A and B are shown apart, each in its own frame.
Chain A
Amino acid sequence: MTPEQPDLIVRMVCRGLAPFIQLFGLYVIMHGHSSPGGGFQGGVILASSFILLAMAEGSETLRRRLSLTALTGFMSAGVLLYAGIGVVCLVLGANYLDYGVLPFSEPRSVGMLVIEIGIGITVTAAMLSIFRDLLTF
């Protein structure tokens, strides 16, 4: 058994576990503003599910599935989403990152949710990018 082709049971168990870990990660991100959690924690949980899959399937699959271009793009997109919300608030006539002017019924809550999503995207992509770099190094 080569290290590139792990045991069938390990692969199947990891494949079965991954969706639940990802669901929990998304829950932690989406409920960051009403329960313990947030973008950083949820992003790491989400990234850990992909790392689990990568360890089960072998490094060649990871290199094929996760392109560096996409990871770098997602990393930048998360930071841009965060900073973009600030710019939207500026355009609507308030201070930078002052969510009170967003056109929603509970604008501050929605603003926080959006920046948590931005943080989650950046943290997930950063963790996966570091893992991929160290693995292929």
Chain B
Amino acid sequence: MKSLHLVLTTVIGLLLILGSLNMPDTGDPGSPPATHVSPRYIESGLEETAVPNMVTAVLADYRSFDTLGEVTVIFAGAMAVLLILRSTREEDES
């Protein structure tokens, strides 16, 4: 069973490395992410949002739904910690 795991891990790792060989170079201006929406953000971000910080313009305006999800994740995380710790404490007291 252990050798099967080893073989599986090796094969999947090799497949992942094989897949990463075709990825575009870092910072390649002709790669799909750099030619799809990035030029629009860079060229018209300032006049569309009136915000000089491009990172915030993308995070809080173009991708506001994503950031709403992030805040909800933090909220849910704090809620989970609160519920778990509080319920354990109540069991101890009773």
B51 & A108 in contact (Cβ 8 Å cutoff): yes
Interface size class of A (residues with CB under 8 A): 35 or more
A45 at the interface (CB under 8 A from B): no
Chain B positions 44-64 with a Cβ under 8 Å from a chain A Cβ = 48-53, 55-57, 59-61, 64
Q: How far is the CB of B52 from chain A (nearest CB, A)?
A: 5
CB distance from B9 to the nearest CB of A (A): 35
Q: Which stretch from B14-22, B30-38, B80-88 is at the chain A interface?
A: B80-88
For chain B, the bracket of interface size reads 20 to 34
A residues within 8 A CB of B81? 129-130, 133-134
Q: Which of B61, B70, B78, B89 makes the CB contact (< 8 A) with A112?
A: B61
A residues in contact with B10, CB < 8 Å: none
Instruction: Assess whether B74 is in contact with A137, with CB atoms less than 8 Å apart.
Output: no
Q: How far is the CB of B68 from chain A (nearest CB, A)?
A: 6
B55, chain A: closest CB distance, angstroms: 7
Decide yes or no: A119 and B67 within 8 Å by CB, A33-B60, A38-B56, A133-B85 being known contacts: yes
Residue A67 at the B interface, CB < 8 A?
A: no
**In the complex the two chains form, is A36's CB within 8 Å of B53's CB?**
yes
Partner of B75, one of A39, A76, A86, A108: A76
- Is A126 in contact with chain B by the CB < 8 A criterion? yes
The residue of chain B having its C-beta at the shortest distance from the C-beta of A38 within the complex is B56
Q: Are B56 and A79 interface neighbours, CB within 8 A?
A: no
Q: Chain A interface (Cβ within 8 Å of chain B)? A: 32-36, 38-40, 68, 72, 75-76, 78-79, 82-83, 86, 96-97, 99, 106, 108-109, 111-112, 115-116, 118-119, 122-123, 125-127, 129-130, 133-134, 136-137
